[in-house]
Amino acid sequence: MAILKFSDMTAMELQFQVEKLQSNYVECIDDDRLEQWPEFFVEDCLYQIISRENEDRGLPVSAIVCDSNAMLIDRIVSLRNANVYAEHFYRHIISNVNIKGVTDEVVSVQTNYLVLQTRLSGATEIYNSGKYLDEIVATEDGLKFKQKKAVFDTYQIQSLMVTPI
């Protein structure tokens, strides 16, 4: 497959492609296909979940920060085989997919997200709300995240965080 060139695309085409990527990404997590989750990122990537409380102060501590695709895989291997937590489902609601900048190689996008969590009791709660600050690149395998930074408003994490946002 030929590599897409962002500058050759119309604004509508680009918007469509980016929204499609976001939809596929959250579906992968919500449908518990976490083994496929790292495939949404390039090898040399940055995945970061950071509270708004820290982000606004310019402080770097993050709930999760991975600076390689291999670290994403390790997270999932750990989640499946090592970590102990209450079973749950996520449901991501995304909105306001807003392209902020385009170069030949990178699209910068800000997107709102809401993660609802359902535990085995059957009750659904708002678990995490925030925004994605993404940098998307085109590869032979389609669009991928060079960076995905989830800045969350819900800076009081309920119980624990194990599943990626």
Nearest-approach distance from CB 59 to other proteins, in angstroms: 4
Q: Which amino acid belongs to residue 90?
A: Y
d(CA 40, CA 139) in angstroms, rounded, equals 11
Cβ contacts of residue 153 below 8 Å, gap of 6+?
52, 129, 130
Q: Which H or E element spans position 19?
A: helix 11-30
Tell which one of 63, 97, 114, 116 touches other proteins (CB under 8 A). 63
Nearer to other proteins among residue 2 and residue 82 (C-beta)? 82
Question: Judged by CB under 8 A, does residue 60 bind other proteins?
Answer: yes
Question: Judged by CB under 8 A, does residue 78 bind other proteins?
Answer: yes
Question: Judged by CB under 8 A, does residue 21 bind other proteins?
Answer: no
Residues 31-50, one symbol each (x = binds other proteins by CB under 8 A, - = not), give ------------------x-
Q: Which stretch binds other proteins (CB under 8 A): 14-22, 81-89, 94-102, 106-114?
A: 81-89
Question: Judged by CB under 8 A, does residue 114 bind other proteins?
Answer: no
In order, the DSSP letters of 108-134 are EEEEEEEEEEEETTS-EEEEEEEEEEE
Question: Judged by CB under 8 A, does residue 126 bind other proteins?
Answer: no
Phi and psi at residue 73, to the nearest 5°: -60, -45
Q: Which amino acid belongs to residue 41?
A: F
Question: Judged by CB under 8 A, does residue 16 bind other proteins?
Answer: no
Q: What is the dihedral of CA 59, 61, 125, 134, to 10 degrees?
A: 80
Nearer to other proteins among residue 93 and residue 160 (C-beta)? 160
Chain residues binding other proteins by CB under 8 A are 49, 51, 53-54, 57, 59-68, 70-71, 73-75, 77-78, 81-86, 155-162
